Chain A
Amino acid sequence: MNSSRAVLFCLLLLSLGVVMALWTNRSDKRNVVPTDRREVVFWHFWGGEDRQIVEAVVDRFNASQEDHFVRAIAMPGNNLDMKLFMAVTGGDPPDVVNQDDPIMADWAERGALLPFDEIASPAEIESLQKWLVPASNRLGTYRGRLYALCNGMDIRALYYNKTILDQHGLQPPNSIAELDEIATATTEIKPNGRVERFGYLPDARRLWAWGVVFGGNFYDDKTREVTLASKPIQNALDWMVSYRDRHGAAQVAAFRQGDQSLPGKAFPLLAGRYTAVMDGQWRVRDIAASQAEQRRAGEAVTDYGVCPLPHPPAGRSRAGWVNGNFFLVPRGVKNREGAWEFMKFWTGFDGNEANAAQTCVAGGWIPVSTAVANHPTFLNYLQQEPLFATFSELAAAPDQVPTPVIPGAAYFQRTVNDAAATAMYVEDAPSVTTLLEEAASRIQAHVDRSASRGQP
């Protein structure tokens, strides 16, 4: 290497170093805690566009504060549980963490979480519980105490392709019988037997929703008994399995599994693979984007609608399965006051409704309180996105039920999903009654084991 090349190489290295130093400096500034403030360490799993929304909320909070400063740390969602676990056992947990796995009761049972009555005054907690919609309260409450503060709910409803319904002279369904009629009338089967479009096809993982809609409860809080094998849930699964009987397990398995997670344009409703599907509020944006693309391309715009899950005569209206994101405060945190202030700011409690409405609009998230849902900012958003209104209304309904908030909930959820999947996708599966009874027995044993230490 001659001397001029060596100089050039050194200059390049130097410039790279300067760029990296500037970059590091730039990314550090966001999280530098001012000396006159107390740090609030906030762990979350949001990435992509959602992460920007989260950071905007954090920036707004930090700008509004004189006492606390939130330092947001994004980490991969699939091992957040484990990292938090290590942090709690290691004695250095974050001050507040966002979660969406059904682990709250397990952690609370083992004393790893601070109940909110140890963070705020009894009057504040009472006021908060009244302020939250019932589903948010259910998601955060274990054995009568609030351990988690829901910051956004995932509500399911029935999306339908209105254009197809109109072509067949059908109306959005109010009852299971009407949904079955849609399924029969609008399913398209090729001469070789291959289904091109299902009018409707139940997803095994949604027994949680249909079980509630059919009038069932998966768990009795008072007797601590797993009631999975109760008649309404059997009826719900029997109804789901009737689709397997009609089309065959192979066809159902090939069509249904995995559809739920297909993003954007691949959303099966947009891809024309279904007339109606059960899905969450996040699909409103996918539909709007698809319709905008159709307009841009000069194509006929497909019309979509959304309605509450239809129910059988003895079932529950405006019911379903709810889950969501929630804040947890691990035991051993350094700044519980700061965590509380940040949680109030985010959710909108205690006079922060305007800010929460702004966050919900930015993220397309469902408010956890009607006070936020009725804020003009959010109402204006509903006018722009009318499909979203159904979800917002359903969120406040009394029969939106989460996975039981008990220790062993993750196992409970997996085992129910397994039983329903066996019923739906295995050709020679045992009867629905047998499957549910066996699953209930296994879950009961697990739940009893999980709760056998700690509180009586």
Chain B
Amino acid sequence: MSANFRRNLTGFAFVSPWLIGLGLLFVYPFAASLYWSFCRYDLLSPPEFIGTEHYQRLASEIATGEGFGKAIWNTGYFALLSVPLSIAIGVGLATMLSWNVRGQAVYRTLFFLPSVVPIVASSVLWIWLLDPRDGILNRFLQSVSLPSQLWFKGATEAMTPPDFLDFGSKDALVLMSLWGVGNFMVIYLAAMGDIPTQLYEAAELDGAGRVRKFWHVTVPTLSPVIFFNLVMGMIQSVQAFTQVYIVSEGTGEPASWSLMLSLHLFLSAFQDLDMGYASAMSWLLFVFLLVSTALLFRTSRHWVHYQGAGR
């Protein structure tokens, strides 16, 4: 046995707990779920191969807008609103909190604090804040003569006709997701600290004001971080589960208007014992995220600017 082989063996022995964990807890379920997506499987009976039946069913549900189709629509609506909004608000807050004002540290702490509140606690809090009859937000809207909204109880979408500006369950979830924007904000703040002051000085010499400096210095130099948050935000939005489960009491109510992909997958797998169908769904979700992330990477070369690139 050569010394080199022995050294490698020792190395593998040291990393074996991780390797075994990876194999048993990640690679095996990952591969098995692909096989199960072609099977009728309920965990209790052996998987029975049925070909592409589950994928055909998913395709038909996409076509009819029922079940999986509805969950895709709901998740897409949620992600398309919550991700850009969280980036815009995160960057906006970080910009304001980077201004050298009195009590800067206090403001930073205040805006970050909500993101450390456990999601279950914050969900319950939001249920009360957004209660259509007695919630604080609706009382405020009424006090300024604006129509009160149904929020979590509404089978409406504020951004689609005919319910334009009637805020329903998904809009409330978007609003709730912005509560945790402090996480993103901290990353932007840290990135802003790394922007070389010479860039701002050069811009000032060229006669740039605050707005121009923001658009032509801050945003381009933050673009790698924005890109990171865009990818992570998209993945997190598509996987939104806990908050939806709590506010809809695990049903996606009202009338499945807040049934997100993760909740639909969970109910199919563990309530309906339809593990094969749920596996097929999870694989489609995986492929969608993979393709979306690849597309984002492809577009990133046009709008993400890395400092020092091309040097």
Binding site for B on A (CB under 8 A): 78, 81-82, 85, 88-89, 101, 103, 106-107, 110-112, 204, 249-250, 253-255, 257-258, 261, 408, 410-411, 414, 417-419, 421-422, 425-426, 428, 442, 446, 449-450, 452-454
* Bound: A299/B311 CA distance, A: 82
Query: Would A421 and B271 count as touching, CB distance under 8 A?
Result: no
* Bound: A425/B272 CA distance, A: 26
Query: Would B150 and A254 count as touching, CB distance under 8 A?
Result: yes
Select which of A106, A111, A258, A421 is within 8 A of B273 by beta carbon: A106
Q: List the A side residues contacting B101 at CB < 8 Å.
A: none
Q: List the A side residues contacting B272 at CB < 8 Å.
A: 408, 410-411, 446, 450
Query: Would A85 and B43 count as touching, CB distance under 8 A?
Result: yes
* Bound: A449/B256 CA distance, A: 22
* Bound: A89/B45 CA distance, A: 9
Q: In the complex, how many residues of chain B place their beta carbon closer than 8 angstroms to a beta carbon of chain A?
A: 29
Those of B10-64 within 8 Å (CB) of chain A: 40, 42-45, 48
* Bound: A333/B298 CA distance, A: 56
* Bound: A442/B155 CA distance, A: 21
Query: Would B48 and A254 count as touching, CB distance under 8 A?
Result: no
Q: Mark B235-251, 1 if CB is under 8 A from A, else 0.
A: 00000000000000111
Query: Would B44 and A425 count as touching, CB distance under 8 A?
Result: no
Q: List the B side residues contacting A249 at CB < 8 Å.
A: 155
Q: List the A side residues contacting B251 at CB < 8 Å.
A: 414, 417
Smallest Cβ distance from B212 to chain A, in angstroms?
A: 45
Query: Would B153 and A254 count as touching, CB distance under 8 A?
Result: yes
> Taking chain B's interface residues, is the majority helix, strand, or loop, or is none over half, making it mixed?
loop
* Bound: A79/B114 CA distance, A: 27
Query: Would A421 and B255 count as touching, CB distance under 8 A?
Result: yes
* Bound: A428/B267 CA distance, A: 28
The answer to whether residues A89 and B66 also contact, given A81-B270, A253-B132, A408-B272 and a CB cut-off of 8 A, is no
- 6 sample A-B contacts, Cβ–Cβ < 8 Å, listed by A number: A103-B271, A106-B273, A253-B254, A418-B253, A419-B255, A428-B162
* Bound: A249/B272 CA distance, A: 30
Smallest Cβ distance from A351 to chain B, in angstroms?
A: 36
**B216 on the interface (CB 8 Å rule)?**
no
The answer to whether residues A422 and B255 also contact, given A78-B250, A253-B155, A254-B132 and a CB cut-off of 8 A, is yes
* Bound: A78/B241 CA distance, A: 14
Select which of B44, B67, B249, B255 is within 8 A of A111 by beta carbon: B44
Query: Would A425 and B271 count as touching, CB distance under 8 A?
Result: no
Query: Would A110 and B42 count as touching, CB distance under 8 A?
Result: yes
Select which of B44, B155, B271 is within 8 A of A81 by beta carbon: B271
The answer to whether residues A453 and B48 also contact, given A110-B42, A254-B132, A425-B255 and a CB cut-off of 8 A, is yes
Select which of B153, B162, B274 is within 8 A of A257 by beta carbon: B153
Select which of A110, A425, A452 is within 8 A of B153 by beta carbon: A425
* Bound: A249/B255 CA distance, A: 13
Q: List the A side residues contacting B67 at CB < 8 Å.
A: 442
Query: Would B40 and A425 count as touching, CB distance under 8 A?
Result: no
Smallest Cβ distance from B160 to chain A, in angstroms?
A: 13
Smallest Cβ distance from A47 to chain B, in angstroms?
A: 16
Q: Closest residue to A88 on the B side, CB-wise?
A: B44
Q: List the A side residues contacting B44 at CB < 8 Å.
A: 85, 88-89, 107, 110-112
